[in-house]
């Protein structure tokens, strides 16, 4: 039983954090920290001390109940829980594996819950996050280029293919490119499209810096994901985009030929990263079919022989988040993942159609396409995939809650679910939409509908 003085101290702490707008500040710093903090330990410690511990001390159940009204949020928690307990059926289960997966599930749940709650309850949080990302990307993209190419030319950075690496935690070329692309999409939708004058010029510079980084990083997966998300977005917003959709395969084929992945006039993948993925996926599929229903457990380790004489290099992850989810969590985990992504994409499409807000759909498409050819485990310590995969899902969940707030039946359910002792939690905030969307149009009307 807690002593009354302890409760009073926690109450004061929560009030001070709310008064100082700590949650918004810490969350933005954490997201941007992926781009400028070079040490993973420092970044993780900031998450533990700045977000995880305060969130567990200050009304965690209240925040959870507010987010619980979102079916997408419940699906995400089910997926996280499934993967967290999957180590129970490891071939050789151990306490450390089970403990680590539970902690990773807790970390991701706190990150997701805080993000959804902030995005839902504070209409200005998403534009604020976009401003933080614009400043961060505008500084870190050129800084990464100077740092990397200086080290590459002088020999103290080892990069056999010369692909640009990020300065911060997003040091891997592919992961950095996907993270910068997500930042670029947010900056475009919440900044470039709704600003004027010098401010608009800086927003445009930040988007251009993100795009240049993606190009120089040389990740074909990130290129195709960005191209695919942009193509699908244009096709959904305009009739003329249908021609772009028809030409997208040819454009993608041209990109693969330009990067040396395919030879001119051939459909055969040349030896390289993409052909290696085919061998990895073939072996991963065989491992999955050995335990298709429950999977092998999140802590299972596999070695994939690329069969390249004489060295026979070996990699240890399946290079596909979908195949990895099925491999570690079985059919159940894969079904939850596909249902979660399908529902989120539908919510993103609604936002695009009703309010001409494509930020959610663009980032969902980008993260969903990129994880086809990269990634393994969706449950881990703070990693870049939190930015390009879980953050877009948090945007979709918050949009779902905002849509419920303007629906009378959903409002009654939300209000009943909220605790009576929190004055703020009982409020239902009408969905203001993205920055610059029609200010007086509710989410259920076609205001701001694009030209179809």
Q: Is residue 337 part of a domain?
A: yes
Domain range for 410: 22-227+275-417
Coil, strand, or helix at residue 131? helix
Q: pLDDT digit string (tens) for 262-301?
A: 555 554 544 554 557 777 888 889 999 999 999 999 988 8
Number of domains in the chain: 1
| pLDDT at residue 414 in the model | 44
Q: Is residue 423 part of a domain?
A: no
CA distances from 252 to 40, 227, 284, 371, 421 (A): 34, 8, 26, 17, 55
| pLDDT at residue 6 in the model | 66
> In terms of C-beta distances under 8 Å and separation of at least 24 residues, what long-range contacts does 125-128 make, across chains too?
125/24, 126/186, 126/190, 126/359, 126/395, 126/434, 126/435, 127/190, 127/191, 127/435, 128/24, 128/28
User: Higher-confidence residue: 41 or 360?
Assistant: 360
The Cβ of residue 169 has, within 10 Å, a number of other Cβ atoms equal to 24
| pLDDT at residue 181 in the model | 96
Q: pLDDT digit string (tens) for 356-400?
A: 899 999 999 999 999 998 988 999 999 999 999 999 999 999 999
pLDDT confidence tier of residue 9, bands split at 50, 70 and 90: confident
| pLDDT at residue 436 in the model | 40
| pLDDT at residue 431 in the model | 42
Q: pLDDT digit string (tens) for 419-446?
A: 444 444 444 444 433 444 433 343 433 3
Average pLDDT rounded to a whole number, residues 327-335:
95
Q: Is residue 283 part of a domain?
A: yes
User: Higher-confidence residue: 235 or 325?
Assistant: 325
155 pLDDT higher than 50: yes
| pLDDT at residue 4 in the model | 62
Which pTM value belongs to this model? 0.83
User: Higher-confidence residue: 275 or 64?
Assistant: 64
Q: Is residue 361 part of a domain?
A: yes
| pLDDT at residue 434 in the model | 41
Coil, strand, or helix at residue 304? strand
């Amino acid at each position: 039983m807690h002593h009354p003085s302890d409760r009073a101290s926690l109450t004061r702490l929560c009030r001070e954090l709310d008064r100082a707008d700590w949650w918004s500040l810490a969350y933005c710093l954490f997201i941007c920290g992926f781009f400028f903090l070079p040490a993973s330990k420092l970044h993780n410690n900031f998450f533990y001390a700045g977000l995880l511990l305060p969130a567990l001390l200050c009304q965690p159940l209240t925040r959870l109940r507010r987010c619980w009204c979102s079916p997408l949020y419940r699906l995400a928690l089910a997926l996280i829980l499934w993967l967290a307990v999957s180590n129970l059926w490891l071939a050789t289960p151990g306490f450390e594996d089970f403990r680590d997966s539970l902690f990773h599930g807790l970390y991701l749940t706190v990150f997701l819950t805080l993000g959804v709650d902030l995005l839902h309850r504070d209409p200005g949080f998403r534009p604020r996050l976009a401003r933080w990302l614009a400043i961060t990307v505008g500084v870190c993209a050129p800084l990464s280029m100077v740092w990397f190419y200086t080290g590459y030319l002088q020999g103290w950075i080892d990069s056999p293919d010369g692909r640009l690496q990020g300065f911060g935690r997003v040091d891997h070329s592919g992961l950095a490119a996907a993270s910068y692309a997500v930042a670029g999409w947010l900056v475009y939708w919440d900044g470039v499209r709704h600003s004027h004058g010098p401010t608009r010029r800086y927003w445009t510079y930040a988007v251009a810096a993100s795009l240049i980084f993606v190009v120089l990083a040389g990740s074909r997966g990130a290129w195709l994901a960005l191209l695919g998300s942009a193509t699908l977005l244009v096709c959904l917003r305009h009739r003329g985009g249908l021609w772009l959709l028809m030409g997208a395969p040819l454009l993608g084929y041209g990109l693969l030929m330009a990067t040396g992945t395919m030879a001119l006039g051939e459909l055969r993948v040349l030896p390289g990263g993409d052909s290696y993925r085919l061998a990895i996926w073939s072996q991963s599929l065989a491992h999955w079919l050995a335990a298709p229903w429950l999977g092998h457990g999140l802590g299972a380790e596999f070695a994939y022989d690329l069969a390249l004489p004489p060295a026979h290099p070996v990699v240890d992850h399946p290079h596909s988040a979908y195949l990895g989810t099925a491999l570690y969590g079985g059919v159940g985990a894969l079904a939850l993942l596909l249902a979660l992504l399908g529902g989120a994409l539908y919510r993103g499409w609604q936002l695009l159609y009703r309010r001409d807000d494509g930020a959610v759909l663009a980032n969902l498409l980008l993260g969903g396409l990129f994880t086809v050819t990269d990634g393994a485990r969706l449950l881990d310590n703070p990693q870049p995939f939190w930015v390009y995969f879980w953050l877009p899902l948090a945007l979709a969940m918050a949009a779902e809650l905002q849509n419920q707030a303007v629906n009378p039946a959903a409002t009654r359910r939300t209000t009943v679910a909220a605790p009576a002792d929190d004055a703020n939690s009982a409020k239902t905030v009408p969905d203001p939409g993205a920055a610059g969307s029609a200010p007086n149009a509710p989410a259920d009307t076609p205001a701001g509908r694009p030209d179809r």
